[in-house]
Structure 1
Amino acid sequence: MLEADLRAGRSCVWYFPDPVVESGRADFFVRELTHRLEAVVPVPGVVSRADRHAGPVTLPAQRAPIDEPVQPWEETDQGQDTDLPDDPYTSLLNRLAVPGGSIRPGPTSAAAVPAATLEERLVKELGVTGDPVETLAEQAAAGRTPHVIVVRCWNETSPEEAAQLLRVAQATFHEAGLPGHARPRFLLTARAADLPRTTLGSQGRAAVHWWWKVWTRLDTEVLMAWHSRSGVTDAADALLRRVTDAVVAEVCGPDIDRALALRDTWDGGDLGSLRRALSRLLPEPAAGSAEPVPPRRLSTAHASAPDAVIHGAWARGAVDSWDGRIHSTHGHSLLDTNSPELRVLVCHAQNRVLLPLIEEARTTLIHLVPEVLRKQHFTLRDFCEKARSQYWRSTDEATVPPLEEVEIGGLSYAAYMLALTTAQRHRLRALHTARNTLSHRTPLDHGELVALAGVLTSDWTAG
């Protein structure tokens, strides 16, 4: 959407949470975007990355501290992104294809320069004299490819200076009568405090984008699969690993670094072991950030931007929109043994993986019913009537549900009518118990999971 707006001739403002900027990842994503555009002019800032910090940034285990000489998201002297094999973002995103198969051009974020106004620095980058905005308008009117001017506002000392330049440019291009596709456009990237929305309130034509609901469940699951586990011995073990990965994804949400670190630390187990693993990975709460995260609201989670109620938490990197809900990325509330939050998340993950497999097992058994029915004593109608759920409704009370609609509980209740082996009866009871447990939003413990994995990966017709 951001790239489409820029290509359509709209200037854009792109807001990032503070931790994404301080870790250097915002610079990485800005470069990934500008590599896909033409005629990009990145304006050097006056603040270096080191000057933005009084000390190291607290980040999850797989993120390097700020004082290391080379960051996973920084550039080398040749302007290339450092590709560390243990960084899933770099490994994946550096392999994205460029349209047309061309080699990526190299506009990079230049180092900080001696103090100068933003306009003076833009003049130098364009290699012109006089008013840079008027020059941009004249070049576009002459048919030249319109420039994309990139200003990283976190490297600026005056938020109003960048906003004023954008307002003047918008007005100048409009007065010059330039059509949208021919207009030079600005991309201002900022933290919330670098370029507040009120600063841009009067210009009105820039499209505002937020780092919000960018990572999805699919991103988390794919990047965990990218770092696949080794040592899987059989189908039951593979299923247990799937459940564990689903729990990790549900608990960590958009924080893929923490998801990978948690999976390395926690290999399944009860809620207590999961809490202990989490406690070793979560950063210490920042001073002055003890304000509670507002309740999750679906409307806010689906919005294109964080609303005012959670804006402060979003800016601190404490919340994001993930899978249709507000997700706390710090997750300290998950460590509270009196809170049901962690239990609910684990149950959601188990349901996501196991319920479809339990349904497949139910369907398999349904297909066996005509063959194993004790026909000398019962008819298929007798069985369906006995197995009818109390929730099954029909306009005619005398009718019975079709066999395909008999639920796992009904199969278990009417199992005495079937000539099942001992192993098959055990599987049916295990499925019924697991289905009831999960339906009541109670997660299965590790022993129950191991038993269920064995049942779900067994052949119903065996024996």
Structure 2
Amino acid sequence: MNTVGSGAVAPAAPESPGSGPAAAGPGRHLMDEDLARLPGPRRHLDMLEADLRAGRSCVWYFPDPVVESGRADFFVRELTHRLEAVIPVPGVVSLADRRAGPASLPAQRAPVAGPHEPWADTGHGQDTVLSDDPYSSLLSRLAAPSGSVRPGLAPATAAPTATLEERLAKELGVTGDPVETLVGQSSAGQAPPVIVVRCWDEASPEEAARLLRVAQATFHEAGLPGHARTRFLLTARATDLPRATLGSQGRAAVHWWWKVWTRLDTEVLMAWRSRSAVTDAADTLLRRVTDAVVAEVCGPDIDRALALRATWDGGALGTLRHALSQVLPEPGAGSTEPVPPRRLSTAHASAPDAEIHDAWARGAVDSWDGRIHPAHGHSLLDADSQELRVLVCHAQNRVLLPLIEEARTALIHLVPGMLHKQRFTLRDFREKARSQHWRGTEEAAVPDLEELELGGLSYAAHMLALTTTQRHRLRTLHTARNTLSHRTPLDHDELVSLAEVLTTDWTAD
């Protein structure tokens, strides 16, 4: 089957070389810079920026895989680049230690040359510590994981880790209470900064939550108005902060990496990374259908969507299942757990419900297109399951039904001129083409032309002067409409035939 694209008209790709999706071909790795340009993440960052600029502190929760991949670090940087007077507090846990849990011993990070930037990275959030970093000497004295001694270092001795307040005080250049210092600066008329704490780089889950509570209480007691208060941005996984912090923290706004990705994000990515251009209208439509199937199947897993699109050119359901098995990751420990509830109320909520909170935290589910969607659809590989068939049908319906409706409307406009007027009147045709639900009811009103359905038009087709090609076109539309209405996906041959019909005018012959 022909490959599927995004349609005849696609969003323009960024023109600056190397700066966006246009610079990365279909086989290239998805760059984080691509994601920052998408509608979903941009809207999510806009909400956080609005809260911070309004004087509210924010707690920002990410699923574990988003943090472990480094994308959370990237989006934190994207947000802070929008703000002024940002003070990031260096953490004490490296990216390599995040999987071990928040209480693991910090690992030493190799010093590099270059200007100091606490969040400078060479990959997806892989932190580097600089030779003049004020915490490098402390980290160099800590033992490596599993008790080994890192090459080139003297045997480590137990050394206390600098607390979060001590590290914040060092960033502020003071030796006393950093919160009191911030109050004094605000009272003196200085612009309040944004203090950023990446809780996944903290060794103690309680420190960040306690700092936020103490700071907000101190600001309140000092009588500082909201616009004069220092704002805190705490970024965390669900396990990085005490459960009590998952709720509201006074004036703090709680944001979740939930319901961020949308169908539009996937479609825009695929449009930016379009395949080779085609001029055939039917082939273009087939590409649209295949892209819609990819988006429906992969949902919020945008990396998998691009991989599946590069692997699957369209075709039978079996070929889709085989391509999906090639791009899905190996089933993890949680892949055998029961599928969480998929209530619409949960999908539209602003945060993952308690029933699916753990599944969200491990990156198994997300809210996408108004429903709870598994991030990795291993269940779709079950040949006995109808789930994949349903998703394919949804995608085909989304693309094809509006076009079938347009073709029905176009035919209706031609009916008056196609009637065998010597034998039938327009009223005769309308009465003959009534829906089967109306037939047999003598008192039923004769429907207007616009109300006639494809089934009725086919039933009364003998009253029209149709060519053989036009009759085939009408039968194809009627069959496809019925098939899709019964939640049955069209097979390859039916799709090819329907694409030809939908891209040909009724009067073309």
If the TM-score is normalised by the length of the shorter chain, which range does it land in?
0.7 to 0.9
**2 CA distance for matches of 1:202 and 1:230?**
50
Describe the superposition over 1:124-146 as per-residue Cα deviations: whole angstroms up to 9, x where unpaired: 11112311001111111222111
Structure 1 counterpart of 2:157? none
Shift of 1:2: 1.7
The separation in 1 between residues aligned to 2:504 and 2:287, in whole angstroms, is 17
Whole-Å separation in 2 of the counterparts to 1:403 and 1:218: 35
CA deviations over 1:237-296 (Å, ceiling 9, x no partner): 000000000000000111111101000000101111111111111111212552212231
Corresponding residue for residue 444 of structure 1: 490
Which stretch shows the higher mean deviation, 324-333 or 114-123?
114-123
Aligned to 1:360: 406
Mapping for residues 11-410 of structure 1, pairs under 5 Å: 11-53=57-99, 111=129, 113=136, 114=139, 115-199=161-245, 203-391=249-437, 397-410=443-456
1:303 & 1:161 partners in 2: Cα distance?
29
Q: Distance in 2 between matches of 1:203 and 1:259?
A: 37
Structure 2 length normalisation: TM-score? 0.79
**8 A contact 1:252–1:259 mirrored in 2:** yes
- How far off is 1:4 after superposition? 1.4
Please give the root-mean-square deviation of Cα atoms over the aligned residues, in Å: 2.4
Measure the CA separation in 1 of the matches of 2:194 and 2:179.
Answer: 12
User: Is the contact between residue 247 and residue 254 of structure 2 (CA under 8 Å) also seen in structure 1?
Assistant: no
Distance 1:134 1:351, change over 3 A: same
Counterpart AA for 1:402: D
Rate the CA distance shift 1:340–1:209 in 2: closer, same or farther, 3 A.
same
Alpha-carbon distance in structure 1 between the residues aligned to 2:225 and 2:127: 29
Alpha-carbon distance change, 77 to 11 in structure 1, aligned in 2, over 3 angstroms: closer
Task: Give the Cα–Cα distance (whole angstroms) in 1 for the partners of residues 95 and 444 of structure 2.
Answer: 76
Task: State the distance in 1 between where 2:453 and 2:78 align.
Answer: 50
Question: How much has 1:77 moved relative to structure 2?
Answer: 8.6
Q: In the alignment, is the contact (CA less than 8 A) between 2:341 and 2:355 conserved in 1?
A: no
Cα contact 1:160–1:199 (8 A) shared by 2: no
Mark the CA change 1:287 to 1:178 in structure 2 (over 3 Å): closer, same or farther: same
The one-letter code sitting in structure 2 at the alignment partner of 1:30 is V
Q: How many residues align?
A: 421
1:320-345 CA distance string (max 9 Å, x none): 00000000011111111111111111
TM (normalized to structure 1)?
A: 0.86
Contact 1:16-1:26 at 8 Å conserved across structures:
yes
CA contact (8 A) 2:432 2:460 kept: yes
8 Å Cα contact 2:335/2:378 also seen in 1 = no
Which one is further off, 290-299 or 262-271?
Answer: 290-299
CA distance in structure 1 between the aligned counterparts of 2:248 and 2:485, rounded to whole angstroms: 52
Unaligned runs of 5+ residues in structure 1 are 55-68, 70-74, 85-89, 91-107
Contact map agreement 1:123 1:132 (CA 8 A) in 2: yes
* CA shift in 2, pair 1:288/1:409, >3 Å: closer
2:504 paired residue number: 458
Aligned mates of 1:125, 1:387 — CA distance in 2: 79
Match of 1:102 in 2: none
| Cα distance between partner residues in 2 of 1:384 and 1:315 | 58
Compared with structure 1, are the counterparts of its residues 261 and 17 closer, same or farther at alpha carbon in structure 2 (3 Å cutoff)? same
For the 8 Å contact 1:76–1:82, the answer to whether it is kept is no
- Summarize deviations over 1:344-371 as a string: whole Å, max 9, x none: 1100000000001001111111111011
Of all paired residues, the percent bearing the same amino acid is 83
CA 1:81/1:160 → structure 2, altered by over 3 Å: closer, same or farther?
Answer: closer
Structure 1 equivalent of residue 475 of structure 2: 429
Take 1:265 and 1:19, find their aligned partners in 2: how far apart are those partners? 24
- What CA distance in whole angstroms lies between the structure 2 residues aligned with 1:415 and 1:144? 80
Q: Is the 8 A contact 1:10 1:205 kept in 2?
A: yes
CA contact (8 A) 1:434 1:444 kept: yes
Q: 1:387 to 1:211 in 2, by over 3 A?
A: same
SS of 1:193's equivalent in the other structure is: helix
CA contact (8 A) 1:392 1:401 kept: no
> Distance between the aligned counterparts of 2:396 and 2:329, measured in 1?
26
Contact 2:348 2:371 in 1 (8 A): yes
Which ranges in structure 2 are unaligned for 5 or more consecutive residues? 1-46, 101-109, 130-134, 140-160
Listed one character per residue, the Cα deviations across residues 59-117 of structure 1 (whole Å, up to 9, x for unaligned) are xxxxxxxxxx9xxxxx9998778799xxxxx9xxxxxxxxxxxxxxxxx9774753311
Structure 2 distance, partners of 1:321, 1:43, is: 32
